[in-house]
Amino acid sequence: MIGGFRAPPPRSRPSNMEDRRTEPGAATPIGDNAEHSDSSHAPDETLGGYLEVHERPPAFTGSDGQPYTASIEVESVEDLTTPYVAYLVFPRWAGAGLGIVGHVETPVLCEGRSRSEVEEEVHALRLSDVKRLLDEAIQRKTEED
């Protein structure tokens, strides 16, 4: 309750990231016409929507039990046909949240002709897919170590 105002009960959407898991084998939405998705979804259900609504990166508990946030990285590369690539970096936070103690990252998720093109594609990722990508990155890191 804030200043005597009681917030309405929450809508029927997931209350935490654990509830937003995708089914095994679900496809990553990069390149699957995510712009044609059902418009009844919450505005913060995608990575870009979450960043816009909450003005901070989303936080997740990884499959290793550690806290992570998601960061979009865009780099220019020497490919003249698709000079930009985008991927996600997941900083791992100390238990008290007072600093970054490591990170994992995805492979390149998309390539494009402009920075805005690849950012738009990554912004369209559903948070459930971002969580799946985090867990896949943790698995890859575990296998490499």
Q: What is the pLDDT of residue 98?
A: 87
Tens of pLDDT, residues 66-84: 999 999 999 999 999 999 9
Total-model pTM: 0.71
Residues 39-62: pLDDT tens digits? Answer: 457 889 999 999 999 999 999 999
SS3 23: coil
> At residue 113, what is the residue type?
R
- pLDDT of 107-122, one tens digit each? 999 999 999 999 999 9
Is the pLDDT assigned to residue 130 strictly greater than 50?
yes
